[in-house]
Chain A
Amino acid sequence: EPEVTQTPSHQVTQMGQEVILRCVPISNHLYFYWYRQILGQKVEFLVSFYNNEISEKSEIFDDQFSVERPDGSNFTLKIRSTKLEDSAMYFCASSDHLGADYGYTFGSGTRLTVV
């Protein structure tokens, strides 16, 4: 069964450093998403991406965050200057249709720890 692959599975970074989280969506999917889960809290929507541009973003997704699909296969989330509160599990997801009713495929997540 096709999978969404996220790398790395764990990343530790120092506060203020830039970090890039990588995702390889399912090859024929067109819609891409990032979610995060701070330990003990809800899974929260960050951003959706379609046709090489952001479709929707949450209030969390401020100027410190950016996404891109640099080579037609990878989908990356960049945090420019990490803060302690960015420590969380970050999930990538992809879908071949617009609308959650078709269901996403989620990756296994990247656990980001900012120290």
Chain B
Amino acid sequence: AQSVTQLGSHVSVSEGALVLLRCNYSSSVPPYLFWYVQYPNQGLQLLLKYTSAATLVKGINGFEAEFKKSETSFHLTKPSAHMSDAAEYFCAVSLFNQGGKLIFGQGTELSVKP
């Protein structure tokens, strides 16, 4: 069965610093991978997704993620953090024959210090 592990429940960076949020997956077949963001009192918003095209995926708000099959990873990065990036970030996996079900990681709360 597929699963997702996010390393670090809380990550704190300074404004302007690199953001790196880690996600590793487990899947017996090539997966679809997603990053969602949740701002306080809001729903889950899709940041970016990997669906077997380019391994480096660019998303909204300057975020990108790279699918590395050899490392079973899909880490999320942003070169320069902004205060508005403070939120909860969720990595998720789905299989093409799973009817749309998403399996989520436990989430990483990103704090940005001025």
Contacts and interface: CB of A to CB of B under 8 A. Distances in A.
Interface of A: 4, 6, 9, 31, 33, 35, 41-45, 48, 55-56, 91, 93, 95, 98-101, 103-104, 106-109
Interface stretch (B20-28, B36-44, B64-72): B36-44
A44 B104 contact: yes
A108 B101 contact: no
B94 A103 contact: no
28 contacts: A6-B43, A35-B104, A42-B104, A42-B106, A43-B102, A45-B102, A48-B99, A48-B100, A48-B101, A55-B99, A56-B99, A91-B43, A98-B100, A99-B96, A99-B99, A100-B34, A100-B92, A100-B98, A100-B100, A100-B102, A101-B32, A101-B51, A103-B46, A104-B46, A104-B100, A104-B102, A106-B45, A108-B43
Nearest to A46: B101
Contacts of A35: 102, 104
Given A99-B94, A100-B32, A101-B94, A42 B107 contact: yes
Nearest to B46: A103
Nearest to A95: B100
B49 interface: yes
Given A91-B43, A98-B99, 13 more contacts: A43-B44, A45-B102, A45-B103, A48-B99, A56-B98, A93-B44, A98-B100, A99-B96, A99-B100, A100-B100, A104-B100, A107-B43, A108-B42
B49 A103 contact: yes
Interface of B: 32, 34, 36, 41-46, 49, 51, 90, 92, 94, 96, 98-107
A31 B99 CA distance: 10
A107 to B, nearest CB: 5
B51 A45 contact: no
Contact of A108 (B34, B41, B100): B41
A103 B36 CA distance: 10
Contacts of B94: 99-101
A70 to B, nearest CB: 22
Contact of B104 (A43, A56, A108, A109): A43
